[in-house]
Amino acid sequence: MDSRRRVPRTDAVLADPRLAEAARRLGRGIVKSAVVAAQERARRGEIAPESVADTAAAALPSHAATLRPVINATGVLLHTNLGRAPLSAAAREAVLAAAGCTDVEYDLETGRRARRGEGALAAVREACPAAEAVHVVNNNAAALVLAATALARDREMVISRGEMVEIGDGFRLPDLLVSTGARLREVGTTNRTTAADYAAAVGPETGFVLKVHPSNFRIEGFTAQAPVRELARLGVPVVVDIGSGLLAPDPALPEEPDAATVLREGADLVTASGDKLLGGPQAGVILGRADLVERLRRHPLARALRVDKLTLAALEATVRGPRTPTDEALHADAGVLRRRAERLAERLPGHDAAAVESTARVGGGGAPGVELPSAAVSLPASYAVPLRRAGVVGRLESGRLLLDLRTVPAELDDGELARRIERAVAAGEERPCT
C-alpha cells in the first residue's frame, strides 16, 4: 500500500490534544501550517505517517510572533541586528503588566485624563536631576526630527561639518534634518571646528546650534571640537545629541558623553537613545529646559512620534529597577568570564572546544574604539550555521566560531548552554542537504 495514502487527514491531526491546546494558545493558522508541513514530509517519505502529529507538535513555535529569542554570543553588547539592549527582568515584568488595560493616561484618583506616562518621565528626571523636564519619543532620530521641526523649521541649524554623520542603513543625518524644513548651516571642517566658527554663523535666522556626538566613528590627530560650555554663550538654544543614552558618567567609558554633564555644561536640550547604554527599550529621550521640552511636547508632530504604554513601562522599570543586562555586561570581570569559558569548554568534549581570550565591544553606535577584554569558547567554524538555527549567535574570527561570554548573561546556566550546543550540532549533522 502506498504510504502516502496513510498520511492522516488534517482535521484528524488537529484533533490531537497537544495541537488543539496549541491552537488555543497560538492560533489555528500557525498550528495548521505546522501540520500541513509535517504531512508533506510524510508524503515525501521523510517521516512515517504515524509521526505527523509528533512532528507538527515539535515544530510549533513557543509564541505566535515570528521573532525568535536568541543568545547573543557575538561579543557586541548592543547588537543592532539582535535588538540592541536586552531588557532587564524588571522591565520585562513591567511590559507584561502593562499589556492589558492600564492607567497610562488616566488619573485613578480623580477619574480624569492625566499626563501620559508621567511615571516614566518622573523616573528619568529623578535619574538626571540636571534636566528640568523630559519627553520621550519612539527613537533618537525622532527626537532630532521633533527638535528640528519645532525649533528650526524655515530657519537655520548650525552644525559642524565633522558631525554630519550617517546613522545606519544608509540614513544620513543631514538628509533627516533637511526633511523637516530646516536649513543646515555648516561650519568648520571635517577635523576642526571651533567656537568661533559657530559664533560667525549665528544670526537672526538661527533656530539652534546642534552638536552631535560622533558615536560610531573616531577622528584622531589634528582635531578640535567646541566645548558645550562655549556654545552655551552664543545666545541661541544648544541641542546636543549624545546618542548612546548615558544619563550619568560611567568610569568604564570616560570619553562617552552623558546627559547630566552636558546639561550642566549649558546645553538647553539633550537627545539620547533608550535602547543603547541606558539599557532599555527603543526610545528617544529628550531632556533639558522645561520651556523647550514643553514646546516640543505640544508640537503636532509629537503625536505621531509618541511611544506606547509598553515602552513607557519598560523605560520606567529600566531607570528605577536593578542593574540592566547591558550594565552588567559592560562591567563584567574578565577573570570571571575566563573561568566561565574554561568550564563551558570542558563540558564540550569531542567538539574541539577551547577557552580563548577575546575582545568585546559596545556596539550600537556607541563608544567607538573601546575594547573590552573578554573570554570566549572557540569552536569549529562549521558549527556557526546549526547554532544560529538553534538561536545561538556567535562570530567568526580567524577561521573559528567564537562564543563570547561577555554578552551571554551570567544567569544563563552554562551546562544548559553546552547541552543546547550539542543538540544543535547533532541536529545539523542529521539535517538533509538541500
- Cα–Cα distance, 366 to 78 (Å, whole number): 8
**Backbone dihedral angles phi then psi of residue 293, each to the nearest 5 degrees:** -60, -40
Contact indicator for 330, 246 with CB cutoff of 8 Å: no
- For residue 433, name the pLDDT band (cuts at 50, 70, 90): very low
Residue 215 has pLDDT above 80, yes or no: no
Beta bridge partners, 224, equal 192
Please give the pLDDT value at position 427: 81
Beta bridge partners, 273, equal 284
Please give the pLDDT value at position 222: 66
Task: Return the higher-pLDDT residue of 351 and 432.
Answer: 351
Over the stretch 28-41, which tens digit does the pLDDT of each residue have?
999 999 999 999 99
Over the stretch 263-274, which tens digit does the pLDDT of each residue have?
999 999 999 999
> What would the mean pLDDT of 137-153 be, rounded to a whole number?
96
Residue 1 has pLDDT above 70, yes or no: no
Q: Which domains does the chain have, with CATH numbers?
A: 12-58 (no CATH), 71-82+327-430 (3.90.1150.110), 89-321 (3.40.640.10)
Query: DSSP code of 308?
Result: -
- Cα–Cα distance, 367 to 250 (Å, whole number): 12
Of 42-51, 287-296, 424-433, the least confident: 424-433
**Backbone dihedral angles phi then psi of residue 78, each to the nearest 5 degrees:** -115, 80
Please give the pLDDT value at position 218: 65
- For residue 414, name the pLDDT band (cuts at 50, 70, 90): confident
Helices (H) and strands (E) counted in the chain, each on its own, are 18, 16
